[in-house]
Amino acid sequence: MTALEIIRIILVILHFVGLASLLGGFLVQVKAIGAGRGTVVPAMVHGALTQLVTGLLLVGVIEMGDLYDTDNIKVAVKLLVAVVITVLVFVYRKKAPAPSWALWAIGGLTLLNVIVAVAWR
Ligand code: HEM
């Protein structure tokens, strides 16, 4: 196993930790969102940033090590969705309550990126 392959595995693991933080942060807020008291919790902010950083590094490592062919359109869609999520968490981070639509969008777009990640072949 090459060094780049090991780095890719570590980055994939961190990519899952970021996903857990982002989606978990949303899920613990669902009841509060329903009551109109939902907020952007720090786990969402950290998760969104983790996804952006580890995702971009993954693409770099895969290209650099020629590990396999990445689908550029798939990566571009994931990047765009992740940027929208990141903007939403930063804009509404200090608002209590945050608008319900923004919180549902954060959770929904996160799920969308999971679907894109696993179903786009
Ligand atoms: C909310 C944001 C994101 C979520 C929820 C997410 C989710 C996932 C998931 C679940 C996987 C594993 C798929 C599998 O192994 O079959 C994955 C892999 C990957 N993601 Fe993301 N992702 C996000 C953002 C990004 C971004 C912004 C990029 C790059 C610009 C990116 C690039 C990648 C790459 C290259 C892989 C493949 C890793 C590998 O198997 O080597 N992701 N993502």
Q: Ligand 1 centroid to 96 CA: how many Å?
A: 30
CA distance 62 to 32: 40
pLDDT, tens digit, for every residue of 66-96? 999 999 999 999 999 999 999 999 999 999 9
Q: Ligand 1 centroid to 117 CA: how many Å?
A: 6
Q: Which atom of ligand 1 is nearest to the CA of 79?
A: 27
Confidence of residue 121 (pLDDT cuts 50, 70, 90): confident
80 in contact with ligand 1, CB cutoff 6 A: no
Q: Which atom of ligand 1 is nearest to the CA of 52?
A: 27
What average pLDDT does range 105-110 have in this prediction?
A: 98
Instruction: Please state, in angstroms and as integers, the Cα–Cα distance from residue 3 to each residue in 9, 14, 29, 67, 94, following that order.
Output: 10, 17, 39, 11, 41
pLDDT, tens digit, for every residue of 24-74? 999 999 999 999 999 999 999 999 999 999 999 999 999 999 999 999 999
Structural domain boundaries of the chain?
A: 3-119
Q: Ligand 1 centroid to 79 CA: how many Å?
A: 9
Q: Which atom of ligand 1 is nearest to the CA of 58?
A: 35
- What's the predicted TM-score (pTM) here? 0.96
